[in-house]
Structures are given as C-alpha cells and as structure tokens.
Amino acid sequence: MQIQDLPYPDPGVPDARSGPRFLWWLWRNQLGGQLKSLAWGLLHFVSVSALPFCVGLGVQAAVDRSGTRLALTGALMLLCGTGLAVGDTMLHRAAVTNWITAAARVQQLLARKAAHLGSALTRRVAAGEVVAVSTGDVEKIGWFVEALSRFTAAAVTVVIVAVGLVVYQPALGVVVAVGLPVVALAVLPLLPRATRRADVQREKAGRATELASDTVAGLRVLRGIGGEELFLDRYRRASQEVRHAAVRSARMWSLISAVQVLLPGLLLIAVVWRGIGLAREGRIDVGELVTVYSAVMILTYPLRHFEEIAMAYSFSRPSAKRAARVLSLQRSTDTDGTREAEVPGGDLYDPVTGLLAPAGRFTAVVCGDPDAAGRLAERLGGHPAEPDRSVLLGGVPLDDLPLDSARTAVLVQDKDPVLLSGTLRELLDVPSSGAVPATDALTAAQCEDVLDALVQGSLDADDPMDARITERGRSLSGGQRQRLALARSLITDPEVLVLDEPTSAVDSHTEARIADGLRRLRSGRTTVVFTSSPLLLDRADQVVLVHEGRVAAAGPHRELIDGDPRYRAVVTRETDEELAAADGMLLDELQELEEIEESA
C-alpha cells in the first residue's frame, strides 16, 4: 500500500484484545512495507558500519605504501557511500510510508467504528477521548509501527559488526562483543518509570483539553453568568499540572539519553585503552586499531535506535490500548442482518414501552423524564439496550436488517444535533430519497432568517447555499442551529423520522409554523416527535404518554389534557401541589353543583 492509494478499500478487522496485540496486528498487515524498510535499513546501516573497515584498510595501505590496496580501498569507500546515500533515501521513504499508512488505517478503523456504533459510542467513551485517539494517538501508533523495522535493521547491523570485529581482531572484538549488550540494554530498568510519567502527562493533558473544549463550547453561557474567569483559572491550573508532568517526564527521558551517550563513550575509552596496549606489544597493527576504534564510534548511530524504539513503544502502548478499547466496542445488535437489504414499511412498535406509531401518521410522544425519552428515541433508531427487545417496523425487527437498511428506514435526530463546518450546500448534501428538495425542507423548518444571517455573516457568498457554517454552527443561535438540523433531517425523507425535542429553542410563533410545515412535508410518512410543546402536540394525529417506562395513555391532545392529570402535569408543568389544589377546587365545584340540584 502506497500513500497515493489511501484510503484502504478495507482496513481489515483489528485484533483489539489489548494494545500490544493491536500493534502486532498493524505490523503484520504492513508486512510488505516493513520488509522494504528492513531491507533499505540494512543497506544503510551496513554501509555506514563498513566505512570504518575501509578507513582501517586505507590507513594500513598508506603505512605499507601499497598503492593498489589504497585504490581498492577508495573503490570500496565509494561503494559504501553509494549504498549509504541510496539506503538512507529509500529507508526514509519506506519509513514515512509505513507511518502514514498505519496512522491512516487506524483512523479508518476508528471512523468505521464510530459509524458502526452511532450515538452509542459517546455513551460508552467520552467524546474527548475519541478525538484524542483519532488525532494524537494515531501518530504515536504510526511512529512505533514504522520505527520497528528500522530498529530491527539497526539491531541486525550491531550483531553483524560485533561478529565481524571478533573475526577481524579477536582481542578487541571480544571487548566490543561483551560491552555492546550492556550498552543496548542498560536503559531497560529506567523505562517503566519513564512510561508511568509519560502516562501521567498524557492523562493530565487529556483533562486539560477536555476542560478547554467544554469552556469554549459554553463560553457564551459563561459570559452571561460571569463565570469565564472562574473557568479560565481552572484551565490555568490544569495547564500548569500538564507542564509539571511534562517536565518530570522529560527528566526521565533526558536521563535515558544521557545513559545512551555515556555508556558508548565508556566502551570507546575501554577499546582505545586496550587497543593501545595491544599496539605497544605489537599484537595489532595501526590500521586494525583505527578500524576497531572507528567501528565502535560508528556503532553509536545504530545504537540510538534502541533508545528510539523504547520511546516509541512507551508512548504508543497506552495510545494503542485506548484505540483497542474503542475498537473493541460492539453494538448490542447484529449489524449484518439476517434479512434482505430492503426497507420494510408499516407500524413502528417498541415492545419495551408498548409504544405504537401507526404508519403514515404524525405521532407525538410525551415523556416526563428527558433521559428516558432519549433512551426511547435511541431504541427506535435501532440501538436497543437488550438485543432481544428490538423495535419492530412492519413486524420486522430492526436488528434483523443490515445496518445500512435500518438507517435508511429510521432516522433519529438527537436533542442536540451537530452541524459540521462547511458550506450550507455541503451540510444539506446528505443521503436522501430525492423526493424533498432543500428549498422545501428549509421552508418547512422556517429557516428564512437563518439564510439571511448566513449571507450577512459571509464576506464572499451571495447565495446562502455557499455561505460557510463555522464549527458546530457556533456563529448561529441555538434556535437557528436547531432549524438547520431539522431541515437536514427532512431532506433525507426516511420511512420513519424520529425527532427529539426539535423546537425546544425556538419561539412559539416559529414553533407553530414549524409544526404546520412538518405535518405538511411529512404527509404520508411516519413521524414520531418527542415533545411537551402544546403547539406540536395539538397538530399530531395521536399523542402517547409514556409514564414510568410504559405507555400510560394515548389519544388526541385536547382529550388527554382534559382527562389525564399525569399528562396535564407534564405538558403544563404543574406541580403535585398545584394538581392537588386543582383537584380540590374541582371537587368543591362538584359539591356546590350537587347542593344546588338538591335545593332545586
């Protein structure tokens, strides 16, 4: 896989049982790229490590005044230089390709999992953590995947050079062979502490990022209550904690780096000291001493990759663990489905509450508990808490349908829908039946003032459809965002549309017009609206009251408001004391009527 071939047609099924297993799965799925990187790395490192032997041969040829051997040494150095240049260039190319393709694979897997789980994802994992995994963590994971092949090439080169020195000059080669493992493995005792400090730093950084996101998202409200300074102080403290944790982590990594510099230096001193003694005794030539000295000095270059792989694994392991945790999440339903990919029609029925939404009708649902209403809305969209309690559409369980077909059949608009940044045209460019034009949907959602606001806020867009919407629509009011989201949902024209409080942020006049437009545009389609607004309830074909998890009453709005105290309490926001007082007044009036009838 090359960079120009991204994205992957199929990123595969990851091994998400643990972080290390996930890293190993990524490495195996890039075996071709890893072998290329290993081959170019060997060419590069071996060429670098062969230069000291060429230098030693050249020095000895000069001492012996041998022009032939000197010319041969020059040719060997030219060959090593060519291998070094080609190997370094191609190693960098292969390594970057492995890094980017690994990161892209993880991002595709996370995006597929997010689409697979839908709204259930943020109920199980914090949104901030999902963002952190899909941004910073994928870079760290990609770093380890690409560094592994370079480390392998460096380790093989170190072994080759050590063996070569033992064969070339046993007296000095043994010193090098004994010292290299100590140099390479000396940092291992320091890694656990460095890893723990790095984990603490990332944890604090994640909290600071989450606090900053919450502050920015609620800045308008914070300013309204004068709380921006309070939250700013909290972020300052969180930021300082991140700084202190980063300094503590950096101290450990600087100690590891110092060890990686100190120990090769000591090995070099030992080799020189031993080599000078052997040269004085006449047991080695000057060229051999220069060769061994240069080889040990050059070995510090591949040995640096031992430190890099330790850092890469320490940083990528918790990142891989978080990614594996997200990727291991599963829906409680069968997403492949057991039926054909056809969209059924008919009544929508929830066996948990007993809610029945007749086909082609406008059904309003009143629920006193907003959390229970949200769970019911999610269940109607095919996200049941229990696999065997699936919602039925036309008698067919949504679980039995492939995920794409289920989402085509039923669309749920959350209470707090998200508007992605981009132009209005891009926002409304969603999968749809094509039966509802954008103009009709915008009109039904009463978006005329929203279009005017978008044009006024744009510098270069005369057409509202070309006006840009900022991230999450923060330049718009809550009611404007709500209406644009409603228009987007209407354009999709699903078989069943479920709306959770679609007009909670608009005024009563606009709400009344939206209710008329919604009823007109969705004529003949099944529409379920969770609301307690009398304006929407009065225009529904039927109203269903869900009380304590079960359907308690059903009928027209006006009949329920007159005949059901529980319904009236939710819709009119009456307290228990007010209901008791109203019932007492009603009893008093009935008693007075009875007394009047008796006296007559």
pTM attached to this predicted model:
0.66
Q: Which long-range contacts does 130-136 make (Cβ < 8 Å, 24+ apart)? A: 130/326, 132/206, 132/209, 132/322, 133/319, 133/322, 133/323, 133/326, 134/106, 134/107, 134/110, 136/319
Over residues 128-143, the mean pLDDT reads 79
Task: Report d(CA 483, CA 11) in Å as an integer.
Answer: 37
Does pLDDT of 189 surpass 80?
A: yes
Q: Which of 19-23, 272-276, 284-288 has the highest mean pLDDT?
A: 19-23
Q: State the greatest distance between any 2 C-alpha atoms of the chain, in Å, as a whole number.
A: 145
CB 107 within 8 A of CB 130: no
Amino acid symbol at 300? T
**Banded pLDDT at 341 (limits 50, 70, 90):** very low
257 pLDDT exceeds 90? no
Would you state the pLDDT for residue 441?
94
Highest mean pLDDT among 49-58, 193-202, 301-310, 538-547: 538-547
Q: Residue 405 is encoded by which pair of tokens?
A: 């077909």
At residue 291 the predicted structure's pLDDT band, cuts being 50, 70 and 90, is confident
Has residue 585 got a pLDDT over 60? no
Across residues 259-280, what is the average pLDDT? 85
- Tally DSSP H helices, then E strands, for the chain: 22, 12
The arithmetic mean of pLDDT across residues 463-481, rounded, is 83
Smallest Cα–Cα separation from 543: which of 282, 414, 373, 367? 367
What percent of the chain has a predicted confidence (pLDDT) above 90? 26
Whole-number Å distance between alpha carbons of 217 and 75: 66
- Is 592's pLDDT higher than 70? no
Residue 396, pLDDT score: 86
Q: Cα separation of 32 and 25, whole Å?
A: 13
pLDDT on residue 226:
61
Q: Which residue has the higher pLDDT, 332 or 322?
A: 322
What's the first-to-final CA gap in the chain, in angstroms?
97
Query: pLDDT at residue 580 above 60?
Result: no
Please state the domain extents for the chain: 14-327, 348-563
Mean pLDDT throughout 127-145? 80
- pLDDT for residue 554 is more than 90: yes
pLDDT in tens, 352-392: 899 999 999 999 999 988 888 888 888 888 766 555 678 88
DSSP strand pairing (496-500 vs 410-413)? parallel
197 pLDDT exceeds 60? yes
**pLDDT (tens digit, 9 = 90+) per residue, 2-42?**
677 788 888 889 998 898 999 999 999 988 999 999 999 99
The CATH architecture assigned to 348-563 reads 3-Layer(aba) Sandwich (3.40)
In whole angstroms, give the CA distance from residue 515 to residue 508.
10
Average pLDDT, the chain: 83
Per-residue pLDDT for 1 more than 80? no
Residues in the chain: 600
CA nearest to 91, candidates 6, 47, 4, 149: 149
CA quadruple 18, 152, 191, 246: dihedral positive or negative? negative
Query: What is the mean predicted confidence (pLDDT) over 440-451?
Result: 92
Burial of 556 (0-12, 13-18, 19+ CB in 10 A): middle
Rounded Cα distance, 390 and 351, in Å: 7
The CATH number for 14-327, chosen from 3.30.70.1110, 3.40.50.300, 3.10.20.30, 1.20.1560.10, is 1.20.1560.10
Please spell the DSSP secondary structure of 149-200, one letter per residue: HHHHHHHHHHHHHHHHHHHH-HHHHHHHHHHHHHHHHTTGGGHHHHHHHHHH
H helix intervals, 353-507: 370-380, 403-409, 424-427, 438-444, 448-456, 478-492
What the block records as the tokens of 19 is 């972080």
Q: How many Å apart are CA 480 and CA 485, to the nearest integer?
A: 9
pLDDT digit string, tens, across residues 94-105: 999 999 999 999
Among the listed ranges 24-38, 54-68, 216-230, 290-304, which one has the minimum average pLDDT value?
216-230
